[in-house]
Amino acid sequence: MEFSSKLLEKAVNEMSQLPGIGKRTALRLILHLLKQPAEQTQFLSNALTTMREEIKFCSSCHNISDEAVCEICKNTSRNHKIICVVEDVRDVMAIENTNQYKGIYHVLGGKISPIDGIGPSQLNINSLVNKVKLGHIDEIIFALSSTMEGDTTNFYIFKQIKDFDLKTSTIARGIAVGDELEYADEVTLGRSIVNRIPFENSLKNI
Ligand SMILES: [Zn+2]
């Protein structure tokens, strides 16, 4: 792609670093910004810079938060003895949208995936196991996507907590194998949390 301006080229190159954005789409977005008032670009770049500099991860559940402890963990009307284990913040948002779950979360930050070079130590697994060891947890709900990586991660965690006195469950699989949680509709996802099954029952599928 030949550019008539180095400034334009640099902006397009940066934009095209984003997933799903090729050079052509990046050019279209940048040209769109050029047609808008200059403040629009200012608002966008300010929002991104401030978000990147000030955003925090909850010290308890690792959810993305504006404060050191997130709103969900701070909420005393939620059941802090039930922890729903999810891959990332998009899953927290999807489950919150169902209005069917009043426990708290634990955000792993990914799934065990040797192909991608992601091992257990790169995920927030130790802090979850430590919470279980402290003994204040009644139930752990595994709500990772039903892929091989999701199942591997569930099982890895299950092995470390199975000897403690708590229930382990997994969301009911109305959700097809391989589906990502965030794409499940709210009713289906809500039902799959309410109708969760003991984790051991899911093991025969591995
Ligand atoms: Zn939190």
Please list the pLDDT of the chain residue by residue as tens digits (206 residues): 889 999 999 999 999 999 999 999 999 999 999 999 999 999 999 999 999 999 999 999 999 999 999 999 999 999 999 999 999 999 999 999 999 899 999 999 999 999 999 999 999 999 999 999 998 899 999 999 888 899 999 999 999 999 999 999 998 765 554 566 666 677 778 888 888 888 888 776 54
What is the pTM (predicted TM-score) of this model?
Answer: 0.82
Give 145 Cα–ligand 1 centroid separation in angstroms: 21
CATH number assigned to the domain covering 77-203: 3.40.1360.10
Contacts of 123 (CB under 8 A, 6+ apart): 108, 109, 110, 111, 112, 153
Give me ligand 1 centre to Cα 127, in Å. 12
How many A from CA of 57 to the centre of ligand 1? 8
Separation of 192 CA from ligand 1 center, angstroms?
A: 22
Residue 171 CA to ligand 1 center (angstroms) comes to: 21
Q: Which residues of the chain form CATH 3.40.1360.10? A: 77-203
CA 107 / ligand 1 centre spacing (Å): 9
Distance 204 CA to ligand 1 centre (A): 32
SS3 177: coil
Task: List, by residue range, all CATH 1.10.8.420 domains of the chain.
Answer: 6-54
Can you name the CATH fold of 6-54? Answer: Helicase, Ruva Protein; domain 3 (1.10.8)
